[in-house]
Structure 1
Amino acid sequence: MTALLAIENLSKRFGGLQAVGDVSLEVSRGEICSVIGPNGAGKTTLFNMISGVLRPSGGRISFDGIDLSTISPWKFAAVGIGRTFQNLALFKHGTVVENILTGRHTHLRSTVLDAVVFYGRTRKEEIAARQRVEHIIEFLEIEHIRDAVVGTLSYGQQKRVELARALACEPKLLLLDEMVSGMNQEETEDIARFVLDIRDELGITVVMIEHEMRIVMDISDRIHVLNFGRKIAEGTPDEIRRDPAVAEAYLGGQRAEAMAKAGA
């Protein structure tokens, strides 16, 4: 498979703190890839650089053949990078439909004058945007809350709305930052199913930051492990399960050694 995302020797410093150091990885088209590691490992900082929230201190990020350092951060969505956030970033006073529609902004070409007249291209774009939003609402099974005010919804429902908004920009690459944190078992299983469908039915490559190891191991094609800002392992779920460096990062040296001796 061809690499959609290629990261070479990426680093990020905040003053004297090295949050990410010399990380290289590739994500192939059509892959579900997970980035895991203990708290403070640099996972969200890595996502922030891929999505344009932060500029790298060093290294290179190439997406679909484009060097991301050559484009402005607000153009990342337009080239095909969508994202959800660990902390919800929704318009709480807007409806579900209104929130999802904001994800269509990268596909709008109308001028201010076009919008005032609301005729021709503007009207066509509005109709197309609403049709796309309705398709996403059906895909994520949130028809029953489509007109609800987002601030009145449960946490799990709001997370699904944020996922819908990310899909509305029609990304080639979808970054999911701890999608299932705070969800119950049923909601977690629903999200896992949706992630598979996003890849299989919509053809979108997915990269996840996730602490729920059951989901990571069940649906990931490949896993990259960070610890203290550096990549310590890469492989399939089975390879990551057996990697002693991963066990040590998560469990500490003595416990990892005990588990290895016990054949765990």
Structure 2
Amino acid sequence: MSRILELEGVSKRFGGLTAVNEVSLSVEEGQIYSLIGPNGAGKTTLFNLISAVLAPTSGRIVFDGRDITRMPTHALARLGIARTFQNLAVFKHETVVNNLLVGLHTHLGADPISAAFFWGRARREELKARERVEEIIDFLEIEDLRDHVVGTLSYGQQKRVELGRALAIGPRLLLLDEMVSGMNQEEREDIARFILDLKEELGMTVFMVEHDMGIVMDISDHVCVVNHGRKIADGTPAEVAADPAVIEAYLGTKQAA
């Protein structure tokens, strides 16, 4: 497998605070790669650096051999990087279908005249976009919700719509930020199944920040652990779970009886 994402000595400082401290990691194409760590460890900041919400203070971020360190977020979408957010980022007053269509905007390029009169390239793009939306609806098993206004759906259903909108970009790398946070057990299991299907059926690479250790250990190929802004361990789920530095970071140093 080839490396699709590489971080080389990436740091982020906010004044005198170092939130991410010289983190290096690599993600292989087709992997489910999880980033974990205690609260305040720097996970979200690192995730925001990868998705260009923040710019690194130092270091390099490389996607598929291309330096994306200073690229804007919209440019990453065109390269094939999509992201969901810990807090819902959906259009609650629009239908499920319209929310998914928004994710396809990076693939639309018809000129204004064609778009206005809905002919030629604009018509072909619209029909293709709607076909893609139907594929995503089928994949996420939300056929009965397609025409519902998103704000009327349950939290778990809204998260599924947000995932669908990210998939509409057609990403090679999907960034999932606390995807199952706030979901019930059944909803968590559904999302874990979808993530596995993305890897196994579509060959997609998934990079996720996640607190649910059950899901992390069940579906991840590789796990990276950060604490106080530094990487303290990485490896298979079993290797990471047995690492003394990880155990101490989560549980604290064992005290003598």
- State TM-score, norm by structure 1: 0.95
Amino acid in structure 2 at the alignment position of 1:167: L
Amino acid in structure 2 at the alignment position of 1:95: T
Aligned to 2:57: 57
Provide structure 2 residue ranges, at least 5 long, that are not aligned to the other structure.
none
- Return the alpha-carbon distance in structure 2 between the equivalents of residues 70 and 9 of structure 1: 15
Partner secondary structure for residue 35 of structure 2: strand
Partner secondary structure for residue 13 of structure 1: strand
Aligned to 2:235: 235
- Return the alpha-carbon distance in structure 2 between the equivalents of residues 67 and 232 of structure 1: 25
CA deviations on 1:64-120 (whole Å, 9 max, x unpaired) are 111003533321100010110000111110000100110001111112222112110
Aligned to 2:182: 182
Q: Pairwise mapping of residues 21-100 of structure 1 onto structure 2 (< 5 A)? A: 21-69=21-69, 71-100=71-100
CA deviations on 1:52-75 (whole Å, 9 max, x unpaired) are 111111000000111003533321
- Return the alpha-carbon distance in structure 2 between the equivalents of residues 71 and 179 of structure 1: 25
Aligned to 1:146: 146
Partner secondary structure for residue 137 of structure 1: helix
Partner secondary structure for residue 53 of structure 1: coil
- Return the alpha-carbon distance in structure 1 between the equivalents of residues 116 and 225 of structure 2: 50
Once the 2 structures are TM-superposed, how far is the Cα of residue 218 of structure 1 from its aligned partner?
A: 0.5
Partner secondary structure for residue 69 of structure 2: helix
- Return the alpha-carbon distance in structure 1 between the equivalents of residues 76 and 53 of structure 2: 10
- Return the alpha-carbon distance in structure 2 between the equivalents of residues 70 and 227 of structure 1: 25
Partner secondary structure for residue 211 of structure 2: coil
Aligned to 1:159: 159
Is 1:193 matched with 2:206? no
- Return the alpha-carbon distance in structure 2 between the equivalents of residues 152 and 57 of structure 1: 41
Aligned to 1:223: 223
Question: What is the CA RMSD across the aligned residues, in angstroms?
Answer: 1.2
Amino acid in structure 1 at the alignment position of 2:226: L
Aligned to 2:125: 125
Aligned to 1:262: none
CA deviations on 1:178-215 (whole Å, 9 max, x unpaired) are 11111111111111100000011111100111111010
- Return the alpha-carbon distance in structure 1 between the equivalents of residues 114 and 13 of structure 2: 44
Amino acid in structure 1 at the alignment position of 2:8: E
- Return the alpha-carbon distance in structure 1 between the equivalents of residues 71 and 203 of structure 2: 25
Amino acid in structure 2 at the alignment position of 1:184: N
Question: In the alignment, is the contact (CA less than 8 A) between 1:224 and 1:233 conserved in 2?
Answer: yes
Question: In the alignment, is the contact (CA less than 8 A) between 2:61 and 2:69 conserved in 1?
Answer: yes
Aligned to 1:261: none
Aligned to 1:252: 252
CA deviations on 1:162-188 (whole Å, 9 max, x unpaired) are 000000000000000011111111111
Q: Pairwise mapping of residues 6-25 of structure 1 onto structure 2 (< 5 A)? A: 6-25=6-25
CA deviations on 1:226-264 (whole Å, 9 max, x unpaired) are 101110000101101110100111111126x88xxxxxx
Amino acid in structure 2 at the alignment position of 1:156: G
Question: In the alignment, is the contact (CA less than 8 A) between 1:52 and 1:74 conserved in 2?
Answer: no
Question: In the alignment, is the contact (CA less than 8 A) between 2:55 and 2:70 conserved in 1?
Answer: no
Provide structure 1 residue ranges, at least 5 long, that are not aligned to the other structure.
259-264
- Return the alpha-carbon distance in structure 1 between the equivalents of residues 114 and 176 of structure 2: 35
Aligned to 1:106: 106
Question: In the alignment, is the contact (CA less than 8 A) between 2:52 and 2:70 conserved in 1?
Answer: no
Identity of aligned residues (%): 65
Which stretch shifts more, 118-127 or 71-80?
Answer: 71-80
